[in-house]
Structure 1
Amino acid sequence: MQFDSEFDFIVSGAGSAGCAVAGRLAESGRHRVLLLEAGPADSAFWIKVPMGYPMLFTNPKVNWMFESEPESELNNRPMYNPRGKVLGGTSSINGMLYVRGHPNDYDTWAQMGNPGWGWHDVLPFFRKAEDQGRGADEYHGTGGPLAVSDQPNPSPVALAIIEAAKQTGIPANPDFNGARQEGTGLFQTTTRNRRRCNSARAYLSRAGRNLRIDTGAHATRLLFQGRDCIGIEYRQNGQIRRARARRGVVVSGGSFGSPQLLQLSGIGPADHLQSHGIGVVHDLPGVGSRLRDHFYASIIFRCHEPVTINELARSPLRQVIAGAQYVLARRGPLAANGIFAGVFTRTDDTRDRPNLQINTNIWSVASRDKKGMHVHDFPGFTMSPVHLDPVATGEVRLRNADPFADPVIRHNFFRDEVDRMAMVNAVRIVRNIASQPALARYMAGEIRPGPDVRTDDEITDWLRGNGIANLHPVGSCAMRPASAGGVVDHRLRVHGIGGLYVADASIMPSLPAGNTNAPSIMIGEKCAAMILEDAAAGRIQTSGAA
């Protein structure tokens, strides 16, 4: 087999985890690393601006813009799944919330047969990654590549929502990533000096000369010598190239891209691969088989006062002023993401930890789909309940053998009564918060679903037509023992294949209770540390000559 280039390690996918893996491997000074990214560099203006992510929501230059298959329990609607196609991956187009999840999430991972992944095992990697603006303590680190900071000038509506949540009995919580998760307070974001700190900005500038970054490089298949992965094939500038990995390949394509690349390369359910004419390298049924995502809906309210982002979105003059404020002084409404306040609570008293996250947006959206976001023509704000512990399990499969075709995504949302009742109760919790005196100044009434939707059945029907994926897909290359249907072991090595790792949200064996960017970066940190440890100990052998 002829190769165009040769490296010690190749990382396919420059997303939240991939940048961390590549950056850490290269900065060690001991290994030459190739990082492949199908999209462009992260140089677009709106990537840098905290309030810029709505502008990236349907931008095909930096967004894969995936859609699921029609969901049978959601009125046969497909779920829109924007994913980053750019250096930094989805950390370049997301809402930047820094949420790690609940400590018990990681203890559960360890109990599933993954030693070294309990809370006290992963906390050092969260701290290592972090440059916490509030300073270091037992939960947070400083000096790491990933900036985490408080947002400037929280909206008065967001502060009122926090007070209203407290009036319902939900306790105040100044740090969702500290001693406890439950409560209400202000989110922190992955920003530095009021500018997005994506994983590319965080990790790649530190890597030095040992890292080569190829953008516009779409991975098409992994290359093998027997059961050992020895490189990767990719298309760049219309040409097919092959790069050899002397010590290993790390797949970091995300929960849709990673199982797709494995399947295209002959690793996955044998019958599925054969149905598309793909030769089976390793029959591994778990590839693509445990997709999970949070489910959420937007409860929308009209606001009495013109203090929301809707007014900015509808006024060219205000947009010019806001742009000037940000460019000249990094001030004004563009300097924050508009998602200031949050709530972590429980949908019923049987829960031993929060299974509900409520995000608050100081805008209200009339439509939000693959065609874009369009705000209402009046002041509005939104409280979005997110079910953190859904039963629904889906899958990722090949559409065909074409590496440039979108994968087939099935979420299977809302099929279980547990999921339906959790969201019905979540709507009622949001309405209880909205009815509190602290919000009376701003509350002009609920417009979605509206006061006529009251009973459990009515709320369920509304959710079927309006609930959507929360864009936190995980689990499609789950870290579990092979006997339990896993794809990678506890050191992120693909079962049955030498020299091949997966490091991204796809390896999460269960959903964390919160946003998935911070946990994905932690996974990248831990993967790189394990690879470096094994390499130093001589446990990674150099592959034979090409």
Structure 2
Amino acid sequence: MARLSTLLVAVAALTRHTCLAYPRALQASKVFLSGRDVDEQYDYIIVGGGTAGLTVADRLTEDGKNTVLVVEYGELSNSPLISTVQGGFMGMSDSQFLYDIQSVPQKNLQNRSIAVLAGKVVGGSSAVNAMMTVRGTAADYDRWGNFFGANSHWSWDGLLPYFKRALNFAPPDAAVTESAEITYDTSFWGNTSGVYAGWPSFQYPGTTAQMDAFRGIPGVPFVKDSGSGEPGVYWYPTFMDPTLVERSYARTGHHDKAANRTNYHLVAGSKVLKVVLDGTTATGVSFVPVGSKKDTPQTVVSARKEVIVAAGGIHSPQILQLSGIGPRELLSSANITTVVDLPGVGQNFQDHPIIQATFTYRKFTYRPTSQDLFLNATFSAWADTVWAANRTGPNSLATGNAAAWLPFPVISPRSADISSALAAQNHTLYLPADTDPTVAAGYRAQMLSYASALKENSTAFYNLVLTGGATNGIVVDLHPLSRGTVNIDVSDPYNKEPLVDYRALSNPMDVDIMTDLIKFTRRYHLDNPMTKEWAATELSPGASTQTDAQFADYLAETLSPSEFHPAGTCAMMPRELGGVVDEELKVYGVQGLRVVDAATMATLVGGNTCQTVYAIAEKAADLIRFGPPTVVE
């Protein structure tokens, strides 16, 4: 919750600027507000009009050969809180754009409940996220394919073309590039998408200094471009239209350009109850208006070809379970007939934990800083003036464009020991007692993969986003070992939100790894010749935290298990490893049904999930249209 509080405070501080954002005009389109208006049958029905769903819908309708219906829970909004880039996540300041979900109490976090944030609007989480355009490392994507074998088409090489297709890269302004020493390599990017990877027209000079300071620590790699698939210190772009200087997201990049197609329909404000099955074949979906009473008649729409579930890491497993696809015991307890006993549905839940390791610099001489936008009236007035005049300056900067994404051997002198200990674990002990053996086998495969990665330099485990200001230190654990669950609430499965359990710190080695992430952050600030002149003071956890027990207590008190990146709950893994979908993203045991979103990530990527979800959706569209690629052995 601490991270959420930090974000919302920042959002509140930036609301003074929202009157300057230009609302986007609602385009004429086949957007329906009621299920009564949709057709009875489509070639494809997509459940979820978010990052993945709108991408797939655009691609499936662009040649005019298929009809598509998108069913979205949220509304189509033109709120300036979404379009503005100021602050990067202004949409989070309005609860109408977010699901209202709290996790179950986390026993290892002093029974705290955690806000489970996901976008509830056409565009999904891409409409409200922090606009950070970051990929994982090549090893993250190779790991997915390795669960299937050496010849899988899920790999860095197999996904790079879709990363290029997914975004339109706009290089930063030449003057800013030179003054901030920004580096990039356009060979890792494309230029055909309607979703932009753009850059602000301003960078704080302290950001460059904070990046350079990593040179004071031996072994830290520096990467020319964030899209290279390499871990290291680098600049990264923002989901921003460089011409409009507005958020670029799935609605603007995919829905708006496709909305006038006669073969494309979207119905908003609609809650999908289940996928309709004829035996083990998906034939359509049933849905009702959001907020309907229990006796409200359902709209049932048929799919000639496929149903594609793209409701995200929280709601995709819920929809499968409500449809009779999931763990038999869970479904039986909810009086839902099991159609396909698929134990992995709703299991393997992951998110990026956020650790507070905060430092302030008493002698930070780089001016202006990010704090000056709020504390220096002269600088703030200038920023407002240039923004109003031509949409440039500090207000074009969302949440920063530089960070360190570092492998564990650079972070920890005991990486080899931690690797060996993880490999030697009895991994089943750290899963729920009733975990199916296939899910346990998949968890073991993941942990063994991580054990290798912990002692190698190809996977980033540590993330420190650089602020350009005199306070720094929000640290992200990029590959948590603990696994949670997202399951229907058996007391009222169709009307209540699913029960979300992060099971934070259930694998005790997470504490060991996070402790070393904090210690490295200390080293960067306090034992680094490049930062000595800043005169840093540790705010949290504080100099008195030194022993393993003290670090464990600190994490229990302050850890947020979520960076709002829910994933893994419909994992793409072999069925014998607890997988839910195969390499074509088809649900095991069901014909005509796929899942396409972050729920399919077997393991989290070492970066923000949005860009990866776009790539998954682009690849999925090709799998749907053309089938799997030929892999030469």
Taking structure 2 as the reference length, the TM-score comes to 0.76
Deviation digits for residues 216-275 of structure 1 (CA, Å, limit 9, x no counterpart): 122121112221111111222746322221111100011101001111111111111111
Distance 1:15 1:267, change over 3 A: same
**CA distance in structure 1 between the partners assigned to 2:519 and 2:238 by the alignment:** 28
Gaps of at least 5 residues in structure 1 are 364-378, 536-546
- 2:160 aligned to 116, 123, 135, which one? 123
1:147 aligns with 2:147: no
Instruction: Please state whether the residue corresponding to 1:94 is helix, strand or coil.
Output: coil
Tell me the equivalent position of 2:448: none
Structure 1 or 2: larger helix share?
2
Residue 319 of structure 1: CA displacement?
Answer: 7.2
Tell me the equivalent position of 1:171: 221
Tell me the equivalent position of 2:420: none
1:188 aligns with 2:237: yes
Indicate if the aligned counterparts of 1:106 and 1:119 stay in contact, CA closer than 8 A: yes
**CA distance in structure 2 between the partners assigned to 1:136 and 1:108 by the alignment:** 25
Deviation digits for residues 262-321 of structure 1 (CA, Å, limit 9, x no counterpart): 111111111111111222222111100111222221222334468555554579998787
Question: How many residues matched?
Answer: 518
- 1:393 aligned to 465, 469, 483, which one? 483
Q: Structure 1 vs Structure 2: percent identity of aligned residues?
A: 28
Residue 27 of structure 1: CA displacement?
Answer: 1.1
**CA distance in structure 2 between the partners assigned to 1:480 and 1:528 by the alignment:** 19
Distance 1:283 1:217, change over 3 A: same
Tell me the equivalent position of 1:544: none
Structure 1 or 2: larger strand share?
1
Give the 5 Å matches for 1:110-509.
110-113=145-148, 115-134=152-171, 137-169=186-218, 170-178=220-228, 180-193=229-242, 194-207=245-258, 208-209=260-261, 210-236=263-289, 238=292, 240-304=298-362, 307-310=368-371, 312=373, 325-345=386-406, 346=408, 347-348=411-412, 349-350=415-416, 351-352=455-456, 353-360=458-465, 362=467, 381-400=471-490, 401-435=492-526, 436-439=528-531, 443=535, 445-468=537-560, 469-509=562-602
> Which 10-residue stretch deviates more, 519-528 or 237-246?
237-246
Indicate if the aligned counterparts of 1:221 and 1:265 stay in contact, CA closer than 8 A: yes
Tell me the equivalent position of 1:19: 54
Deviation digits for residues 480-515 of structure 1 (CA, Å, limit 9, x no counterpart): 222222111111111111111100010111111211
Residue 162 of structure 1: CA displacement?
Answer: 0.7
Letter in 2 for 1:485: G
Instruction: Please state whether the residue corresponding to 1:299 is helix, strand or coil.
Output: strand
Residue 186 of structure 1: CA displacement?
Answer: 1.9
Gaps of at least 5 residues in structure 2 are 1-35, 172-183, 417-454, 629-633
**CA distance in structure 1 between the partners assigned to 2:466 and 2:78 by the alignment:** 26
Distance 1:318 1:232, change over 3 A: farther
Letter in 1 for 2:478: L
RMSD value, Cα: 2.6
> Which 10-residue stretch deviates more, 27-36 or 301-310?
301-310
- 1:36 aligned to 51, 71, 74, which one? 71
Indicate if the aligned counterparts of 2:72 and 2:267 stay in contact, CA closer than 8 A: yes
Distance 1:321 1:93, change over 3 A: farther
> Which 10-residue stretch deviates more, 281-290 or 72-81?
72-81
Tell me the equivalent position of 2:115: 80
Taking structure 1 as the reference length, the TM-score comes to 0.88
Residue 82 of structure 1: CA displacement?
Answer: 1.1
Tell me the equivalent position of 1:375: none
**CA distance in structure 1 between the partners assigned to 2:377 and 2:49 by the alignment:** 35
**CA distance in structure 2 between the partners assigned to 1:251 and 1:291 by the alignment:** 17
Instruction: Please state whether the residue corresponding to 1:446 is helix, strand or coil.
Output: strand
**CA distance in structure 2 between the partners assigned to 1:171 and 1:360 by the alignment:** 16
Distance 1:434 1:444, change over 3 A: closer
1:51 aligns with 2:86: yes
Letter in 2 for 1:55: M
Letter in 2 for 1:336: L
- 1:528 aligned to 610, 621, 626, which one? 621
Distance 1:177 1:335, change over 3 A: same
